[in-house]
């Protein structure tokens, strides 16, 4: 299967499409703002004016959009994937979304004779650029085996976690861990600055020891320098945390670290910082 459809060209989707093109795949792309796709069109991506055109042109259709409502529209709207798709094709949702929506997509796909996987990713813009994303997959074993060679073009650690929706559940576990790591990063830096330590030296020291984390090593320097360019938007992280909070409420579990992180980031959104990167959590601490 060399014909790939890709719906959603953003911070993550753009680099992924670049990897697919360089690997020799024909890529048919659509996003709401064509200007975002100009460099990819120049690199060989075929622009499609509609989701339906992507769907009929490709054997495998990837989606990577912002919010669950966007995912729902892309698949179920009158001009969506399921109105145009034919039996035997594959759909793979890379969006971080709701497990129950992934299950709904899978159910509809089965009724149409289509194969579906939910496959949210982590690794941020750097992982997408470097082709080293971690991909958490839900779906049937045979479908996973078929799509794995394509996922391997832009992913490094790729795991099937179970049936439809389990990729999204695994991603929620990941986001819960990120919430704690971001608080840890911000509090390391806040303490260092308050007592007069050199934050760059602290990052180098703590980042080489048992308290190290991806967030500390990769986002810590950005937080120190005030570089809030988004590798991962605050607004998307809050979306993820709210999905996780909804899921845990059904299982009567308390996750106070996640709840605290969500409250901090909701405050940042209230202050107009929704389009900054998650490293901007340090701004909340500066104002305390």
Concatenated DSSP letters for 216-254? IIIIHHHHHHT----SSBHHHHHHHHHHHHHHHHHTT--
Could you tell me the mean pLDDT of each successive run of 10 residues in the chain, 288 residues long?
A: 94 96 98 93 98 98 97 98 98 98 99 99 93 99 99 98 98 98 98 98 98 96 97 95 94 94 98 98 95
Domain of 120, CATH number, reads: 3.40.50.720
Asked if 129 and 239 sit in the same domain, the reply is no
> How many structural domains is the chain composed of?
2
> CA–CA separation, 184 vs 212, rounded Å?
10
104, 132, 163: which is the final residue of a domain? 163
Asked if 215 and 252 sit in the same domain, the reply is yes
pLDDT value for 252: 86
Asked if 157 and 173 sit in the same domain, the reply is no
At 115 the three-state DSSP class reads strand
pLDDT value for 1: 78
Residues 6+ apart with CB under 8 A from 229: 222, 277
Q: What is the pTM of this model?
A: 0.93
pLDDT value for 124: 87
Domain of 200, CATH number, reads: 1.10.1040.10
Helix runs in 85-123, H state only: 99-111
Residues 6+ apart with CB under 8 A from 145: none
122, 144, 163: which is the final residue of a domain? 163
Parent domain of 155: 3-163
Asked if 156 and 15 sit in the same domain, the reply is yes
- Residue 238 sits at the vertex; the CA angle it makes with 33 and 127, to the nearest 5 degrees, is 65
> CA–CA separation, 162 vs 160, rounded Å?
6
Asked if 32 and 143 sit in the same domain, the reply is yes
Q: How far is CA 194 from the centre of its chain?
A: 34
Asked if 190 and 152 sit in the same domain, the reply is no
Longest dimension (CA), the chain: 64
> CA–CA separation, 97 vs 123, rounded Å?
16
Residues 6+ apart with CB under 8 A from 287: none
Q: Which of 171, 201, 235, 286 is catalytic?
A: 171
Pairing mode of beta strands 26-30, 60-63: unpaired
Q: Measuring CA to CA, how many Å separate 275 from each of 96, 140, 283?
A: 17, 36, 14
Q: 37-49 burial, b for 16+ CB within 10 Å, e for fewer?
A: beebeeeebbebe
Asked if 39 and 175 sit in the same domain, the reply is no
Q: Is 171 a catalytic residue?
A: yes
> CA–CA separation, 80 vs 57, rounded Å?
14
Q: How far is CA 270 from the centre of its chain?
A: 23
Q: How far is CA 153 from the centre of its chain?
A: 16
Rg (CA), the chain: 20
Sign of CA dihedral 154, 75, 116, 166: positive
Q: Measuring CA to CA, how many Å separate 247 from each of 13, 73, 287?
A: 26, 22, 31
Asked if 109 and 135 sit in the same domain, the reply is yes
The total number of residues written for the chain in this structure: 288
Asked if 110 and 205 sit in the same domain, the reply is no
pLDDT value for 288: 86
């Amino acid at each position: 299967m060399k014909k790939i459809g890709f719906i959603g060209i953003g911070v993550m989707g753009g680099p992924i499409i670049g990897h697919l093109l360089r690997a020799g795949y024909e890529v048919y792309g659509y996003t709401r703002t064509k200007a975002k796709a100009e460099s990819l069109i120049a690199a060989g991506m075929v622009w499609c004016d509609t989701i339906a055109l992507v769907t009929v042109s490709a054997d495998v259709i990837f989606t990577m959009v912002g919010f669950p409502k966007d995912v729902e529209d892309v698949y179920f709207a009158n001009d969506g994937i399921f109105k145009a798709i034919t039996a035997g094709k594959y759909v793979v949702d890379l969006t971080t979304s709701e497990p129950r929506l992934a299950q709904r997509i899978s159910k509809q796909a089965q009724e149409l004779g289509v194969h579906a996987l939910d496959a949210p990713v982590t690794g941020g813009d750097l992982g997408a650029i470097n082709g080293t994303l971690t991909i958490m997959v839900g779906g049937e074993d045979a479908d996973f085996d078929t799509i794995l060679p394509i996922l391997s073009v832009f992913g490094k650690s790729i795991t099937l976690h179970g049936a439809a929706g389990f990729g999204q559940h695994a991603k929620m576990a990941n986001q819960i861990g990120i919430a704690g790591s971001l608080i840890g990063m911000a509090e390391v830096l806040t303490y260092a600055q308050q007592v007069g330590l050199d934050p760059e030296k602290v990052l180098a020291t703590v980042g080489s020891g048992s308290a190290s984390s991806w967030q500390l090593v990769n986002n810590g320097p950005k937080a120190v320098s005030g570089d809030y360019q988004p590798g991962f938007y605050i607004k998307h992280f809050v979306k993820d945390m709210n999905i996780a909070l909804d899921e845990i409420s059904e299982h009567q579990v308390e996750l106070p670290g996640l709840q605290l992180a969500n409250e901090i980031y909701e405050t940042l959104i209230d202050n107009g910082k929704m389009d900054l990167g998650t490293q901007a959590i340090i701004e909340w601490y500066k104002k305390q």
